[in-house]
Structure 1
Amino acid sequence: MRKNYFAKLVKHMKNVYYIESELTKLTDLRVNPTYDTAQVITLVLLGFLLRIKSFNELNISWFLV
């Protein structure tokens, strides 16, 4: 696999699909959520891209601070 493949993929998603601005438009029906919907969807998308099989494999406490 090429070096910096993941960084290039994220840059491509930002430039072509405007993923950051689209994620901020998402809403859900949670009352007084602890985390923003965009943060949750971003983690799920990154898990999908990294082919993580379960959320238990993620150590994301540093990301949600």
Structure 2
Amino acid sequence: MRKNYFTKLVRYMKNVYHIENGLNKLTDGRIKPTYDTGMVVTLVLMGFLIRIKSFNELNLMIKNN
């Protein structure tokens, strides 16, 4: 896999599907949320794209650089 494949994939999603417009419109029922719903969904989607199986695995990846 090429080094900048992920960057090209994200750029493609933005240009073709305008995914950030849809993610910015997402809402939920939380009162005074710390993080926007769109931001949370974006991070989960990115984790799915790079095949992170759980938040625990993500935590380990962050600790191990």
- Structure 1 segments unaligned to the other structure (5+ residues): 60-65
TM-score of the two chains, using structure 2 as the length reference: 0.84
Counterparts in 2 of 1:18-33, with a 5 A limit? 18-33=18-33
Alignment RMSD (CA, Å): 1.0
Higher helix proportion: 2
TM-superposed CA distance for 1:3, in Å, is 2.5
Paired residue total: 59
TM-superposed CA distance for 1:31, in Å, is 1.1
TM-score of the two chains, using structure 1 as the length reference: 0.84
Percentage identity across paired residues of the two chains: 75
